[in-house]
Structure 1
Amino acid sequence: MVVVALIIGLAMGLFGSGGAILTLPSLIYFLGIEDKVAIIGSLVVVGFISAVTAIPHLFSKTTNFSALVYFAPSGIAMSFLGAKIGSFTSSEIQISVFALLAFLAAIKLLMQPNLPSTNSSEVKKLSLVITGGIVGFFTGFIGVGGGFLIVPSLILLANLSIRAAAATSVVIILLQSIVGTAAYALYSPDYFDQLPWKTLMVIGVIASVGSLSGVVLSRYLSQTLLSRILGVLLILVSTTLLYTKLF
């Protein structure tokens, strides 16, 4: 589990996403945690990792606050609604939606042409607000940080480089994870009370070490390579989850 936690953190540091994509399956398959509890636990772990990962990005001024202002508020509001609905939805539906969205995000990333290494001044403000709300809803509904949806959205709508998108994403993930966790605590107290807090904190600490390493490593890798790796990772995880749930 130590190795898995390091990989989870490395993904967050490199891509600004991928934490929940690996955390959720790991809690279910490696630790044998019940699906619904794992969904909530994934939010806790990803929120912890994103809090740590956001620190070096803020100091290096990589975070794009312009995109953050348009994307985050609607996302935070809708993540609470998504978590409320998710608390009354079967875990099979939640995980299937998670896998499907991850697969679609992967296809979109892999179909993109080579990505620029610098940010463009063109920002689709209304699209960011709308997309932020949609992503926020699914973040709460499927119990993940949502970085695998946030990063492609910031690249495509705010014209950010993947490094800036990753840095901005972890701040949004932190805010949405806090709201989503609070919503599950309110609407699913029985499952929330079953959270293995010590285990989640250990995973969070180990993953944070990997995450900080990923932030440093991302400075030496090309934008296009990072986006392609993320796309392949999303396809592998989503198809595995869909296969195990459907067959």
Structure 2
Amino acid sequence: MTTLYLALAAGAVVGIALGGLGGGGSILAVPALIYLLDFTPVAATTASLIIVAATTATSLYTHARDGNVRWRTGLLFAAAGIVPALLGGALAGRLPEALLTAAFSVIALTAGLRMLRSRRADNDQDRPIRPAHAAGEGASLGAITGFLGVGGGFLAVPALVSVLGLKMKAAVGTSLLVITITSLAALTARTSTADGLRWEVIAPFTGAAILGAWDGKRLASKISGTTLQRTFAIVLIAVAAVMLTDAFI
């Protein structure tokens, strides 16, 4: 019963982050699965992709309904990341668990620091999209998604705003499209690691994340985006410190 409560609580936090920030929650899913729910690093990254794909696909619907998804940009961004996601997913299952944990913690730390420094200011309007920039950013995101089992919204949202010139609301909605596609691509390369997954944990975790994403979207309209972003950034940095310590001790 304790495991069920932990899965529900962790899923709710992940969903709130994904729904409110368009990213950040997925990078919390892996450490929650490892340290709270006793998954191995490889199983946790695979389970995270399942959770993230289901949650972002659901949240994508609400953002699309509000007109906050730039489909052409998102599809171009995601298409460039499909092959890197497949390669990263295939490579992840062949690496030592300590190395995978260390790599994940470094990315989490980088993401936390990046979120802590960045501002969530809206642009007046979307700028013209540069296909080469979209493809380059998408390929990088896909590789990280496949390798570490995270959706990558913490990287996609800043890139969509600063590099591709989308407004923040559009960047959050479009990032969900990108995350859904790259997560599904990465999962196809991880079919060999799906055996033995604890679905009795993944199912409630995913259900709570989906519900949390709806709450996150509403929360983002009531609480300062900067406050929400900084809170998750601090949590990410703390999680990264714990995982780095665990990887080398």
- The reply to whether TM is greater than 0.5 is yes
Q: In the alignment, what sits opposite 1:40?
A: 46
CA contact (8 A) 1:35 1:91 kept: yes
CA contact (8 A) 1:75 1:136 kept: yes
CA contact (8 A) 2:41 2:100 kept: no
* Structure 1: segments with no counterpart, 5+ residues: none
* Structure 2: segments with no counterpart, 5+ residues: 1-5
Q: In the alignment, what sits opposite 2:3?
A: none
- Structure 2 distance, partners of 1:164, 1:223, is 14
Asked if 1:130 corresponds to 2:136, the answer is yes
Q: In the alignment, what sits opposite 1:246?
A: 248
Q: In the alignment, what sits opposite 2:68?
A: 62
- Structure 2 distance, partners of 1:201, 1:119, is 39
Cα drift, residue 171 of structure 1:
1.3
Amino acid at match of 1:235: I
Deviates more, 1:166-175 or 1:233-242: 233-242
Asked if 1:82 corresponds to 2:85, the answer is no
Amino acid at match of 1:73: A
Identity among equivalent positions (%) equals 28
Matches of residues 178-217 of structure 1 in structure 2 within 5 Å?
Answer: 178-185=184-191, 189=192, 191-217=193-219
Q: In the alignment, what sits opposite 1:237?
A: 239
CA contact (8 A) 1:20 1:145 kept: yes
Structural RMSD (CA): 2.0
Q: In the alignment, what sits opposite 2:114?
A: 108
C-alpha change, 1:241 and 1:43, in structure 2 (3 Å) is same
- Among candidates 157, 160, 163, match of residue 166 of structure 2: 160
CA contact (8 A) 2:99 2:247 kept: no
Q: In the alignment, what sits opposite 2:147?
A: 141
Q: Give the SS at the match of 1:145.
A: coil
- Structure 2 distance, partners of 1:233, 1:160, is 27
- Structure 2 distance, partners of 1:114, 1:177, is 25
CA contact (8 A) 2:90 2:190 kept: yes
Q: In the alignment, what sits opposite 2:98?
A: 92
Aligned pairs, number: 243
